[in-house]
Structure 1
Amino acid sequence: MSEYEAKHRDFVDLAVPVLLSRPLTAEEFLTAHWDPGEKPPQTPDGLRELIGDKYSSRWLDLAVRLALEDLGDDLPDRRWALFHVARWHWPELFAHWRDRRNPPPPRT
């Protein structure tokens, strides 16, 4: 798999779940979507179809902001509280977000 293909796969596997984790506000939708006349989809499936399966920097930026909001101070590195730093480490940030949302079952 090429680096280009891996970037798209990682975007779909890691960023898209963050975007689908909650309803987006109209403002959030407009920051990531290029058509101001289009309304946000009413369902996660509609949003998933709209985002597609290709990397998009605008959708990625929104996903980073949502993950930072969800995680608060629970970041792998406190420097990631700055958007531009977290944006650089987006695969790790989203993996951490996913792990916090779906913790492993307790050991017995």
Structure 2
Amino acid sequence: MAVDSTEGARELHQQLRGPVDMSRYEARDRDFAELAVPVLLSRTLTAEQCRAAHWRDDEQLPTTSEELRDLLLGYGYMAGRLDLAVRIALEDLGGDLPNRRWAVFSRAGWHWRVLLGHWGDRRGCPRSA
């Protein structure tokens, strides 16, 4: 039996770790809703894009933009769906980027808040979900 699987070990680990500050996760979810959801709702997503964004195989794909919006806001931040939003924004913006080095997806992904905010400014999108 592994040491960390005992009840005492779990309690000790929880005590040593201390309380978890959830504010950064809440901010990330809020930013995702405000910045990424409008990008994802800006076009009809293909089944291939949905699968690439890590929709579960047993999860029914949304058929309307309202269903998609509710699904995205219900789950909050998910890395695969954020990646899809960044790819869409890069495609839409072309060379009109806040930083030209962000034309590479791996770099743009690190700066998703600025990139998606820039996308929204260019599209005239309000910043609330």
TM-score when normalising by structure 1 = 0.87
* Residue 98 (1) aligns with residue 120 (2): yes
Cα RMSD after superposing both structures: 1.7
Task: Give every structure 1 segment of 4 or more consecutive aligned residues whose post-TM-superposition deviation is greater than 2 Å.
Answer: 36-40
Q: Summarize the alignment of residues 12-27 of structure 1 with structure 2, pairs less than 5 Å apart.
A: 12-27=33-48
* Residue 34 (1) aligns with residue 55 (2): yes
Structure 2: where are the runs of 5+ without partners? 1-21
> What is the count of residue pairs matched by the alignment?
103
Kindly provide the CA deviation profile for residues 44-92 of structure 1, in whole angstroms up to 9, marking residues without a partner as x. 1111122225211010000000000110111011101000110000000
Q: Distance in 1 between matches of 2:26 and 2:58?
A: 31
Which amino acid in 2 is paired with 1:50?
A: L
Identity, % of aligned positions? 60
Q: Which structure would you say has the larger Rg?
A: 2
Q: Summarize the alignment of residues 17-96 of structure 1 with structure 2, pairs less than 5 Å apart.
A: 17-51=38-72, 52-96=74-118
TM-score when normalising by structure 2 = 0.73
